[in-house]
Every structure is written in structure tokens, then in C-alpha cells.
A and B are shown apart, each in its own frame.
Chain A
Amino acid sequence: MQGNNDDEWLFEISSKKGLFELDYKELWHYKDLLFLFVKRDIVTFYKQTILGPIWFIIQPLITSFIQFVIFSRISNIPSDGVPYFLFVLAGNVLWFYFSDCFKSTSEVFKANQNLFGKVYFPRLIMPLAIVFSNLVKFGIQFVFFLGVLFYCMYNGYNVSPNLYTLYTPILLFVMILLALGLGMIITSMTTKYRDLTFVISFGISLYMYITPIVYPTSLALEKLPESLHYLVYLNPLTSIFDFFKYAYLGSGKLDFFGVLYSFIFSVVIFFAGVFVFNRTEKNFIDVI
């Protein structure tokens, strides 16, 4: 270590801490830990199972099929001219990624209190690990989605993927920021008062219906009076999902302005999340 100088301290532990103080150097030092956490999450997911990673695919497959039966066959909800199953699968793959990241992040402090109570490492590693290990799961589901997509194209259905698919990483990035930000806010707020956890558990399933997954945005706009249209776009996920569906299915319409709004919204939420997370991590172990 450095520090021949007597007054040169490596670090100081006290009750004070900067608000947005993010120690990037320290985070970087723990990059291997991040990697190992991701590996742990993935490897342990399918230990002692027979189907292994196939379980990642079964979840969206069955969900989409049920939704296909209920919303398309029974309720006749339109899907902008593309096959409904593919339409809803596209939404589900994105939604599962978002909701898994959000849900796991919102439980970071509670779920890891044993570990956090014993040893120090930058707590931010945990949410980051969640994002990356879910990314692997997303990757598998996404490949499955692409498979269904190609199958539909091959069989002459009306789907037209276009160059906007290149924006996929950006869409994911915005979703990650949003999921992390919201999750970190929730987990910090629920260390002392658990009330919010009850809201989250049903709130997340309600949020799914506000987001255009099982129905196209056009349908929502058609049914709602003009004066309430802004509500549809207030949800930062709306334009992300629309963009994704436009890029891969050629359905709906493109809304760059909406994506920009989502981006700004997510960045603000993310930094707010880092802020409260930082404040909480120092002492949460005393009150959790």
C-alpha cells in the first residue's frame, strides 16, 4: 500500500458521507465479485433441476400462451396486425426483465442482511449483479423470442423487423436505469418501515397492466378520451415497449420524443436511487 507519510490515511470510517459519493475505483476493485455473484445466481438457479436453463424459456412461453388465450381468443384484443402470441411474447420478454430486476433490487437489503451484516463490500455490487444475472436470463428468453419471430416471418405472417432493432441496447439501458433506480429507492425505504413492501407486491402486477404488453398503445389511445392521453405516455415504459415492438414487429408507431422522456425520467430516478441507497447502506443493519 501507499502511505509512507504518517498522515496519509487509506480511508476513514465515520458517520458522515457525501450524497452522491460513488467510489468508482472501489467498485472497479470488486469487479470480480460482481462476476462471481452473477455466476452464482445463474449456476445455482438450475442446480438439481433436470430441465436446467430451459426453465428460463418455459416462463414466458406459458405466460404468453395463457394471455393469448384470454386476451386474443376470448376478449378479442387487437395486436396491430401482427400475430398476437408474438406480440405479447415481445412485451413479456421485456417486462420480465424489468420486473425481475426491479423486484430483486427492491429486496436487496432485506435479502442480504446476513451477508451485509458481516462484511463490507460496496453494496452497489448487489443491484448490479442482479442486473447482469437477469441479463443472461433475458438473453436466453430473447433468443427464444427471435426464434418465434423467424418462424412467423418464414410462415408469411405480417411481421417486419427493421434497422431500429439496433437501438435495443439503449432501450435495455433505459430500463435498467429505471429498474435499478426504483428498486434502490424501495429497498432503502423498506429497511426501517416495511409498509411499502406490501404495496410493491401487488403494485408490480398492476403496473404490468398500465404498460402496453397485452394490448397495443393504439387501443389505449382509442378507448381513452383525448384529454387523458398524456397519462398513457406518463408511464416511462410505454414508449420503450412501443419502440421495441416497432423495431422487431413493425407494429405501432415510433415515438422518439417518448423514448427521450423515458431516458431523462430514468436517469433522474437512477440518481435519486443511488442517493438514498448510499444514505441507507451505512446504518441499515441497525434497523432492519
Chain B
Amino acid sequence: MSEVILKIENVSKQYRLGQVGTGTISHDLNRWWAKIRGKEDPFLKIGETNDRSKKGDSEYVWALQNINFEVDRGEVLGIIGKNGAGKSTLLKILSRVTSPTTGSIKTKGRIASLLEVGTGFHPEMTGRENIYLNGAILGMTKKEITSKIDEIIEFSGCERYIDTPVKRYSSGMMVRLAFAVAAHLDPEILVVDEVLAVGDAEFQKKAIGKMKDISKQSGRTVLFVSHNMAAVESLCTRVISMRNGTVLSSGNPTKIISEYLQDSSFSERKVKFESISDAIGNANIRIMYASIENASATDKDSVIDVTSTIDFRMKIVNLTNKETISIGYDLLTIKGDVVFGSGNKFNCTIGGVTEVSCQIPSNFLNDDIYQIFVYFHTNDMADLYSNTELLTFEVKDIKRESGYLGKINGIIRPQLPWFLNGKKV
């Protein structure tokens, strides 16, 4: 039953950078003149790939470039990519807020997009009035809403406040209400953009469950855009990864997500040098090799999950005249908080390569970016060498099983024993 419900053909979108001002009008006149003579738009030929961090020459950028893909009925398609990859632009075009510069999108069903928090909500009106208004904005008729209003109110969990103006609502309640309306929309295609970030664990579980229901039971299609890999992986049947306005790859969620993470992590997990003279260090110590490895996986370079055991490995050359060296390191979060420090004394052959390693247990570090600050001392605590940013690595939270999808608080995230009526669970 793989019927194509949405077909995206050669979609591109060009944006003009800078401000609208007197300069713009000459371009507009140029474009208009070309159009009158039946020529092609002169500014469509130029334009650069949308790379935010690099300074470009052209005033025009392509936010999307030749996007092609198809979506089958009943599919839950995840769209991932860094900020500026074009995800939101694509969704804007899909929800008909703006039109593509070239190309076309064909669809067999009504597309409804989940509004961002509270857009279309009127603060002065009550929750109930806003359900009607929001539902109608999303394309429902009054009759449809009336038939579902009890369900919507119940799903939102805002019964108590339903006849209070929404300006008195918390932001979480607004999202609940907005999502509740959209979830009961019955569109053939539902577009959800990064909405689960707000809301508590219970509601997220409900929302994810509802989205699964929508696709599985009623065979509807969901396009889900998120930076939350745990949510994408648990929900989607297929994932598209975007970069700089193009589709990078598409396919099995687990595969695409791990490729994406590998690609996008901040890590500098390995340093390696061929000769002692190139190696980092000083006259006392040289570090020939240092790495952070995922000890739980067969591929040691693969993405580190919170459940992975981590190996910190170093190969050092001792250039001092004493064999005993004290080696230690501090593990810092990217914000600079020290998570812990650890060290030991080693006998290192003078002039030869010594390998040391330290294991960080699984289920210990939280979802964050960490840095290794390494230091070397003599036996009597005289400084030999230190390096503040030897390695940087990221711990991701991919395989989370609980329904909650937000980041769990804390610098560390140990798995602690819990007891129920005295028995360990």
C-alpha cells in the first residue's frame, strides 16, 4: 500500500539578504524588465549555497536547492539537519505560507501544520473560544470542532481553565491546547515542527503517542521536524537529513541519525602525531596520541550515547629523567563546570612510548559536550605539562526509553538503584 501522497519536485527557494531599501528597487525593476521581455529572471542564476557562517559575495542565497522526495501515505517522515539547513523553509513551503522560487509540490491530501506556541490564539479569548478559532484557522469547520471539542479539552488536560482567557495560561498549557487542536484535525498530512520541546514528560508522552496513533491507526502521514534525535528515532519510519538547503541522505532512521550525529558533533575526539617533534607537549612530555573511544561499540569511533562506556586513551613520551610521573585529567562540561578530576602515578619508560587509559563508566555522564583538561606532574608535584583542551567530545542521548524527551537536568546522570517496598527494581 505504498501510495505516494506528497511529491516534491525540484523545489528551490531563493532569499535575498540584507535590508529592503532603495537598493532593492533597482533589482525589482531589472527583474520586471526581464519579465516583460520574456526573459529569465536575471537574479535566479546567481545565488550561493546557504552557509550562514561564511561570508559570501552574493546578496542572494538558496535556502533550498533542488529538493526532491516523495512521501507515502501513512509514513512518519523525520526531517533533521542543523540550524539553517532549510528544514523550516521546506515546511513553510509545504504549509503554503510561502511559495517555492522554482519547482512544485503535489499533494493528494490536506496539509495542516502544527502552529508554534499560541500563534492564532487570541489572548483575550477563552480556551474554548480559541479552540474554535484555532481549529478553523487550521481548516476545520465549526461542526467538526463541536463534535470533537470534549475530546480536545480532555486531551489538552486544561479542563479547569477552559473558560479562562488564554492570556492567563502558562506557556505549557498553551502548547497543550495548540497541540490538542492540531492532533484532532484529521488532515491527511500533518506537519509538526519542533513543538515537543515545551511541555512536561507526561504531555510529551501523550503527544508522541497521539502522533503514533495518527499515523498507524488512521493511516495518516506525519512530517516531523526536530532537533531531538530521541523523539525522531522513536517516532519516524524514515528520516531525511538536510544540509545547506539540500537533501543529504534519506532512509532508515537509526542509520541516518547516527550518520548525522557523527557528522554534526563538535567533537575532536582524536589527536595523533607521527613523530615526537610534531607531537603536542613540551620538553618534558609529548602526547603522541590521545582519543576518546566508545568502548561499548565495535566501532570505537561511533557516537557516544549516555549508555556507552567511554575509554580515554593516551600514548605519551616521557622526556624527563625520572620514571615516575603523575598523570591526571579534569573532565569539564563545555560551559566550564568541572565534572570530576582523576589521576594516578605511573612508571613511564624514559624516552619511550607509554600507553595509559582511563575508563569512564556508562550511565554516568549526561547529554552534553565535554572537554578533557590533562596535566602531568613529577612525583613531588612539580608541574611538567598541562593542556586545557586536549580533547572535546559529545555525549548524546539517543536510546532513551522513557517517554520524556527533554534534556534531563544535571551535570552527571548516574543510574541509581531504586527500591520498591524494599525490593530493588
Contacts and interface: CB of A to CB of B under 8 A. Distances in A.
Interface of A: 1, 3, 6, 8-15, 17, 29-30, 32-33, 35-37, 39-40, 43-44, 47-48, 114-121, 192-193, 282-283, 285-287
B359 interface: no
Residue of A3, A6, A36, A115 with highest tally of chain B CB at under 10 A? A36
A6 B99 contact: no
Interface in B1-25: 3-4, 7, 15-16, 20, 24-25
B216 interface: no
A14 B100 contact: yes
Contacts of B101: 15
A82 B266 CA distance: 82
Contacts of B28: 192
5 contacts: A35-B142, A36-B136, A47-B124, A119-B120, A282-B99
Contacts of A33: 136-137
Interface stretch (B106-114, B249-257, B279-287, B366-374): B106-114
Nearest to A191: B20
A40 to B, nearest CB: 6
A29 B141 contact: yes
B188 interface: yes
Contacts of A1: 108-110, 188
Given A118-B115, A193-B20, A13 B132 contact: no
Contacts of A120: 95-97, 113
Contact of A119 (B103, B115, B129): B115
B93 to A, nearest CB: 7
A116 B96 CA distance: 10
Contacts of B108: 1, 3, 8-10
Interface string B14-40: 011000100011001000000000000
B132 A14 contact: no
What 7 pairs between A and B have smallest CB-CB spacing? A120-B96, A14-B104, A33-B136, A13-B105, A32-B142, A9-B106, A282-B99
A119 B20 contact: no
B177 to A, nearest CB: 15
Given A32-B142, A118-B95, A287-B16, 13 more contacts: A9-B107, A12-B104, A12-B105, A13-B107, A15-B100, A29-B141, A43-B124, A114-B119, A118-B119, A118-B120, A283-B98, A285-B97, A286-B15
A119 B97 contact: yes
Residue of B7, B96, B138 with highest tally of chain A CB at under 10 A? B96
A119 B122 contact: no
Contacts of B104: 12-14
B258 interface: no
A114 B119 CA distance: 7
B138 A119 contact: yes
B361 interface: no
Given A47-B124, A192-B24, A285 B98 contact: yes
A119 B119 contact: yes
A119 B137 contact: yes
B137 A121 contact: yes
A32 B144 CA distance: 11
B116 interface: yes
A10 B120 CA distance: 26
A10 B125 contact: no
A37 B129 CA distance: 11
B106 to A, nearest CB: 4
Contacts of B7: 9
A13 B94 contact: yes
Contacts of A193: 20, 25
A48 B124 CA distance: 9
Contacts of B94: 13
A36 to B, nearest CB: 5
A179 B39 CA distance: 36
Contact of A121 (B20, B107, B139, B165): B139
Contacts of A30: 136, 139
A119 B113 contact: yes
Contacts of A40: 122, 125, 129, 133
Nearest to B119: A118
B218 interface: no
A121 B25 CA distance: 30
A193 B20 CA distance: 8
A109 B94 CA distance: 20
A12 B103 CA distance: 10
Contacts of A286: 15, 98
Contact of B107 (A11, A17, A35, A118): A11
A31 to B, nearest CB: 8
Given A36-B133, A115-B137, A15 B102 contact: yes
A8 B109 CA distance: 11
Nearest to B24: A192
Nearest to B9: A14
